[in-house]
Amino acid sequence: MFDGHGESSVSTEPPCALCQKGEPLRQSHILPEFLYTSVYDENHRFLQVSTDPLEPSVSRPKGLYEPMLCSGCETRLSVWETYASGVLHGGPELRYQMEAGGFVIRGLDYPRFKLFGMSLLWRAGRSRRPEFDAVSLGVHEERLRRMLDAEDPGRAADYGFTIVFPPERQAQELFGQALGPPQRVRYHSHHVYRFLLGVTIWLFPVSSHMRELDPILFSLSEDGSLRIRNGGQPTLDFLVRFGAEITSANRTRGKA
């Protein structure tokens, strides 16, 4: 490209993080906008609170975003997000059945819902925002990018996930109005990224030997069934610790 003086000019804008083409970037949400529905107030704002007492609380009019995707890739991801929103909020074409320890949803479009889940993990790992610093995917970031760009959901264990909910009604009501920053924990030899997304917690095991995990650990099956399980005491313990950290940070801010 040449400017009006005959000299070459090179765009300094990075390429789209997904397709890697040099298209103009949009302000892309790291977590889809529909996940913020439960945390918005009547003025369509939510309060961002950190567990770090040195970080001030901030009122925001919309979710967290940054320049990341071109318009074409935004459109592709929006298809998966729209479908996932319908699943999580009760799509009419789905069949819901209670079972021991939770419930199962049958009749899902496996590729669309799986790609949605994979996109959550990839965007968090690709983001440069401090709220997502805990997600460091290494070589898995590029593997995920290629699968998403090819719209390849892989098998259930390929960057699959487990969705759980807290066992107590009080915890469900309280944390149903909260989104938490991803955290990295260990499960045997695997890194697991834990996302608090309203009333559910999503767990993503990431390692070079994910397929060695028992398929029953993953919520989504290739037959289009999605099991959302009661997380039991470990989930409740995590929420109690998370709540205590927020409370402690708020008290410290109040004394400043």
Domain membership of residue 5 (yes or no) is no
* pTM of the model as a whole: 0.87
**Rounded Cα gap, residues 205 and 208, in angstroms:** 10
> pLDDT per position in the chain (256 positions), as tens?
334 444 444 557 899 999 999 999 999 999 998 888 777 777 767 666 666 766 766 667 778 899 999 999 999 999 999 999 999 887 667 888 888 889 999 999 999 999 999 999 999 999 999 999 999 999 999 999 999 999 999 999 999 999 999 888 888 877 777 788 899 998 877 889 999 888 899 999 998 887 778 778 899 999 999 999 999 888 888 888 888 877 787 777 566 5
Q: Are 59 and 47 in contact (CB under 8 A)?
A: yes
DSSP element (H, E) containing 52: none
Residue 19 within a domain: no
List, in sequence order, every residue forming a beta bridge with 192; answer none if it has no partner. 185, 205
Tally the domains of the chain.
1
The CA–CA distances, whole Å, from 137 to 1, 29, 144, 204, 206 equal 35, 19, 9, 11, 8
- Residue 16 within any structural domain of the chain: no
Q: Is residue 211 part of a domain?
A: yes
3-state secondary structure labels for all residues of 87-150: HHCCCCCCEEEEECCEEEEECCCHHHHHHHHHHHHHHHHHCCCHHHCCCCCCHHHHHHHHHHHC
- Owning domain of residue 143: 25-255
Q: Which tokens is 181 given?
A: 């920053």
Q: Would 6 be classed as within a structural domain?
A: no
